[in-house]
Amino acid sequence: MNHGRTIFAQILDGLDPKQFERCASQYPTARHTHALSAYDHFAAMIFAQLTHRESLRDIEASLSARRNQLYHLGIRGNVTRTNLSYANEHRDARLFAAVAAVLMRRARKLYAGAKDALELDGELFAIDSTLIDLSLAIFPWARWQGTQAAVKLNVVLAVAPELPDFCTLVEGGVHDVNFLEEVVFRPGGYYALDRGYVDYSRLYKIHKAGAWFVTRAKSNMSFYVVESRPVDKASGLRCDQTIRLKTVKARRDYPEPLRRVCYYDDETKKYFVFLTNNFALPALIIPAIYKRRWEIELFFKWMKQHLRLRGFFSNNRNGVAVQIWTALCAHLLVAIAQRTHALPGTLYRTLQIISTGVFEKVPLHQLVMENDTRIESLDNPNQLIFKGF
């Protein structure tokens, strides 16, 4: 039952205030201020993401118009443009990264029953990164290539629920493969990686963790075939081999045998060569696992289209990181609400409806519920009939 609580307050229920306080205690500000607490700052930035605010002044004006409701949202401080600007610049962005990690863990528990179409015996993950473009004139600290500026978001995506499981934010020039050093691989999990992540020592780390990887082989890979198994070429398969790496360095980095699967895609008219450490799955499943990696590209596209990741409220390095992490938090909070309240429709539809009614005092499921008026009779038997003149 809803006791007059706003939609925004119900969305924020996805985060336990005690967990937020634990995160905030790990990263205290250099100068403590009561004007805008860490939670006030977080809630204001989530509000900006959910309602597509354009600037700090826009956030201030929108929240000031509902000042009598802010207390019930947990916002006790003074949300002004000046306070938000100072907080974005000086409050450690790692606080919001820690909050995002808390929300990822909760979302993972809620979506634990989600099944992927491939029905593998372990959870399927996709690993990739995306560049968030910045203006070099405004963000000179983010130069990464010529006249371009960007920061890079690395993500491990749980494919079945389409939710991030682990993320890092780095400078645009940091190579993707370094991200694998920070990932804790889950035993029995399947990891689909692009060819840019092929580093044999890091792939061997996945193998030693008891997880499976599927990636594309580089064209200059030096190897010899240990065993070749028959394949059905009508299915698109061209070879299914057990191989060993040939060069001294590669053998040192990955001393175990690998499985090489060659596949011809009739739609694109291209050949693909895959590497994996799994020898038990049918050969045709290996290309299918890699194809599911496309879900992470859709996730990046969704985030950039529907969250505030284009115009930034701060030109400071820390402020940019705060906005990116709070965008992830907003996405996770909506996903948690979607699961907790068993809301119908897609995540995008829920986000759009929430953006227009954050201050409405109705149960969340009632706001999002689909009402199909086409099947309802519009005739009222008590309505007088107009006969004309």
Which pLDDT belongs to residue 370?
57
Nearest to 240 by CA among 216, 258, 265, 267: 258
Non-local (6+) Cβ contacts of 78 within 8 A are: 35, 36
Which is higher by pLDDT, 202 or 6? 202
Question: What percent of the chain shows pLDDT beyond 70?
Answer: 93
Range 60-66 average pLDDT = 87
Q: pLDDT confidence of 378, banded at 50, 70, 90?
A: very low
* Residue whose C-alpha is closest to residue 97's, from 284, 287, 255, 320: 320
Confidence of residue 387 (pLDDT cuts 50, 70, 90): low
116 or 380, which is more confident? 116
Give the model's pLDDT for residue 68: 81
Kindly state the DSSP code that residue 234 receives in the 8-state scheme: G
Side-chain-side CA neighbours of residue 108 (13 Å):
15
State the pLDDT at residue 268.
Answer: 87
Q: Average pLDDT, stretch 142-147?
A: 86
Cα 324 to Cα 152: distance, rounded to the nearest angstrom: 10
Band of residue 374 on the pLDDT scale cut at 50, 70, 90: very low
Model confidence over 287-309: pLDDT tens digits?
Answer: 999 999 999 999 999 889 888 88
What is the overall mean pLDDT for the chain?
Answer: 89
Per-residue pLDDT, averaged over 52-72, amounts to 86
* pLDDT score for 385: 53
Give residues with Cβ within 8 angstroms of 52, minimum separation 6. 308, 355
Label the pairing between strands 148-158 and 212-216. unpaired
pLDDT for residue 371 is more than 60: no
Q: Which helix or strand (DSSP H or E) is residue 44 part of? A: helix 38-51
Q: Which two tokens stand for residue 250?
A: 């590669």
Q: Are 157 and 163 in contact (CB under 8 A)?
A: yes
- What pLDDT sits at residue 244? 96
Q: Give the mean pLDDT of 108-124.
A: 88
Residue 32 has pLDDT above 70, yes or no: no
**Of 156, 72, 170, 160, the residue nearest 115 (C-alpha):** 160
| Residue 345 near residue 371, CB atoms below 8 Å | no
For the ranges 4-13, 159-168, 303-312, the maximum mean pLDDT occurs at 159-168
Q: What is the mean pLDDT of residues 245-268?
A: 94
User: Model confidence at 310, in pLDDT bands (50, 70, 90)?
Assistant: confident
pLDDT of residue 381: 52
Report the helix count and the strand count for the chain, using DSSP H and E.
Answer: 14, 10
pLDDT single digits (tens) 319-366? 999 999 999 999 999 999 999 988 888 888 888 888 888 888 888 888
User: Which amino acid makes up residue 208?
Assistant: K
Averaged pLDDT for residues 310-320 = 91
Whether 265 has a pLDDT exceeding 80, the answer reads yes
CA distance 261 to 276: 8
**pLDDT higher for 187 or 66?**
187
- At residue 141, does pLDDT exceed 90? yes
How would residue 1 be classed by pLDDT, with cut points 50, 70 and 90? Answer: very low
The mean pLDDT of 262-272, rounded to a whole number, is: 91
Q: In 3-state terms, the chain is what percent helix, strand and coil (to 5)? A: 45, 20, 40
